[in-house]
Amino acid sequence: MEKVFLYDTTLRDGSQAEGVSFSLEDKIRILQKLDEFHMDYVECGWPGANPKDTVLFERIKKMKLHHSKVVAFGATRRPNRKVKEDPQVENLVKAESPVVTIFGKSWDFHVTEALKTTLEENLSMVYETVEYLKRYVDEVIFDAEHFFDGFKHNPEYALAVLEAAIRGGADWVVLCDTNGGSLPHEVYEITKKVKEKFPQAKIGIHAHNDSDTAVANSLMAVLAGARQVHGTINGIGERTGNANLCSIIPNLQLKMGMQVVPEESLRKLTDLAHFVAEIANVPLPRNMPYVGESAFAHKAGVHASAVLKSSRTYEHVDPSVVGNRRKVTVSDLSGRSNVVYKLREMGIEVDERSPELIKLVEKIKDMEKEGYHFEAAEASFELLCKRHFGLVRNYFDLDAYRVLIAKRSTDNTPVSEATVRLKVGELMEHTASLGNGPVSALDRALRKALEEFYPSLKEVQLVDYKVRIVNESEGTSAKVRVLIESTDGKRRWGTVGVSENIIEASWIALTDSIVYKLMKDEEEGII
């Protein structure tokens, strides 16, 4: 099986999608997840181009990745300037990532009109920048911007640009369909011509989805000899998005006989897709191929039972291979085995047919119907399971909470005040606190009540807080899902709460976060 290398640009191109904006912490979490997934290359940003990305690359230097190569993205040097005097190029070296990708123009029109320089000078810019960077980093990848449009207008020049990069020592030349206007047969033919012209070169493909064919364009390029595929998780990206890696990976691996990721990773594909959707706060379309909730849905009835009898003739692939599951109202088998698998991870061994397990699966399903989503809230899921098996101690009992928010026209900001009354053992604690908002007021009042009993709670910080309407057609009366991300310096965990009331949903996620911390400390003998 031939290897095709994956190149993820969710953190750069993906963050260009309308409505998506990743925080620093979001980016770190996604990078870690992609590393676990065995993504070959992860493009993290453009160091120097914006201060956020510079900080990110500083953070990355201290991280240990196991499977992915971090890529810094940038451009060729500016026209009429020495490469070593170009601060933008210097920032790429300073990022200290093992791989650098630079883009350069390959459409003659853009060279003269956008760059305002000569065709010759552009070739020097490409050659010199690649050659210079190769002295400092392991791998240099050259992105030929507007390659397909350029090739259609002036094939000689487009090829000359690639040649300059190859002469400079580029490890890969990547053909970018920047406007996303190319169709599969064109991508195939043009990529083939490139491969014929440069039989030794390693070629990549970078497709955008403006023609609704980005996945197909990527596959056709691989058929023509490309061995690196750029894309994003769920295809997020500016305009109509980038090529969707969640579709490309299984197509290549399951249908085209290519080696892409370990089978283990493939089984985590659906999880990865949901994870990124949650972090990006962009709901995953239920009809998304392979990973969507409806991707293997069968309407109940005759068809469904036929599917169960000989699924291979009704499903293009086995859903479990990509970590998804068949959705047929009559069967919950796949659900159970998933839960057994998760329980085993927590150290709980239980038989698939035990009544306890069946009850737990029912409970999970009910909660999912209510709007719970556990992909980004593993801590709440662990608590749910361990509570079900009586493995979580009762650290405190709520008696009451109350939050007041008030603002007058003369105030700049509203006042938020919370009171909490709870029992720890036989002791009743009643505390009050102000906060910047209702959730922080509640959080403070809750900690005030608990910290004297459980001092390690002082280590806990909330690092992220996300809210999503579950059934958005009803507006503010619909259910609200709150995701909280906490850390105690060593661990990081996510918890979830669902309610019609945003304060109650926050409260559920808050208390889960605190109980999880206490349970983990106890499991490790700290308290």
Residues 317-336 that bind a copy of itself (CB under 8 A): 317, 329
434 scored as a contact of a copy of itself (CB under 8 A): no
Among 87, 461, 523, 524, binds a copy of itself (CB under 8 A): 461
Scanning residues 257 to 316, which ones bind a copy of itself (CB under 8 A)? 281, 285-290, 292, 294-299, 306, 310, 313-316
Among 416, 433, 495, 511, binds a copy of itself (CB under 8 A): 416
Q: What gap in Å lies between CA 335 and CA 364, rounded to an integer?
A: 10
74 versus 292: smaller Cβ distance to a copy of itself:
292
Which residue type, as a one-letter code, is found at position 207?
A
Q: What gap in Å lies between CA 238 and CA 19, rounded to an integer?
A: 10
200 scored as a contact of a copy of itself (CB under 8 A): no
251 scored as a contact of a copy of itself (CB under 8 A): yes
149 versus 171: smaller Cβ distance to a copy of itself:
149
356 versus 404: smaller Cβ distance to a copy of itself:
404
Question: What tokens were used for 62?
Answer: 């201290």
Angle at 516 between CA 512 and CA 517, to 5 degrees: 120
**Interacting span for a copy of itself (CB under 8 A) from 126-134, 347-355, 379-387, 430-438:** 430-438
394 scored as a contact of a copy of itself (CB under 8 A): no
With residue 247 as reference, give the H or E element that holds it.
helix 245-250
Among 264, 362, 472, 524, binds a copy of itself (CB under 8 A): 472
101 versus 416: smaller Cβ distance to a copy of itself:
416
Backbone phi, psi, residue 270, to 5°: -65, -40
Quote the least distance from Cβ 69 to a copy of itself, whole Å.
26
**Interacting span for a copy of itself (CB under 8 A) from 70-78, 157-165, 199-207, 435-443:** 435-443
Scanning residues 122 to 161, which ones bind a copy of itself (CB under 8 A)? 146, 149
CA 302 distance to own-chain centroid = 38
51 versus 347: smaller Cβ distance to a copy of itself:
51
364 scored as a contact of a copy of itself (CB under 8 A): no
Q: Are strands 492-499 and 172-177 parallel, antiparallel or unpaired?
A: unpaired
What is each CA distance from 376 to 134, 358, 501, in whole angstroms?
39, 23, 20
* Number of other CB atoms surrounding residue 195 within 10 Å: 16
287 versus 354: smaller Cβ distance to a copy of itself:
287
What is each CA distance from 378 to 157, 278, 321, 374, 425, in whole angstroms?
52, 13, 22, 6, 28
* Number of other CB atoms surrounding residue 296 within 10 Å: 23
200 versus 473: smaller Cβ distance to a copy of itself:
473
240 versus 456: smaller Cβ distance to a copy of itself:
240
Q: What gap in Å lies between CA 371 and CA 297, rounded to an integer?
A: 19
Q: Do residues 7 and 228 make contact, with C-beta atoms less than 8 angstroms apart?
A: yes
Scanning residues 473 to 492, which ones bind a copy of itself (CB under 8 A)? 473, 475-478, 480, 485-486
Q: What gap in Å lies between CA 106 and CA 132, rounded to an integer?
A: 20
338 scored as a contact of a copy of itself (CB under 8 A): no
68 versus 324: smaller Cβ distance to a copy of itself:
324
Q: What gap in Å lies between CA 30 and CA 10, rounded to an integer?
A: 9
Among 31, 141, 219, 498, binds a copy of itself (CB under 8 A): 219
Question: What tokens were used for 23?
Answer: 């925080």
200 versus 477: smaller Cβ distance to a copy of itself:
477
Among 54, 119, 437, 492, binds a copy of itself (CB under 8 A): 437
Question: What tokens were used for 118?
Answer: 């000569």
Q: Of 377, 521, 510, 523, whose CA–CA distance to 453 is shortest?
A: 521
CA 91 distance to own-chain centroid = 26
Among 240, 334, 431, 456, binds a copy of itself (CB under 8 A): 240
**Interacting span for a copy of itself (CB under 8 A) from 118-126, 232-240, 387-395, 448-456:** 232-240
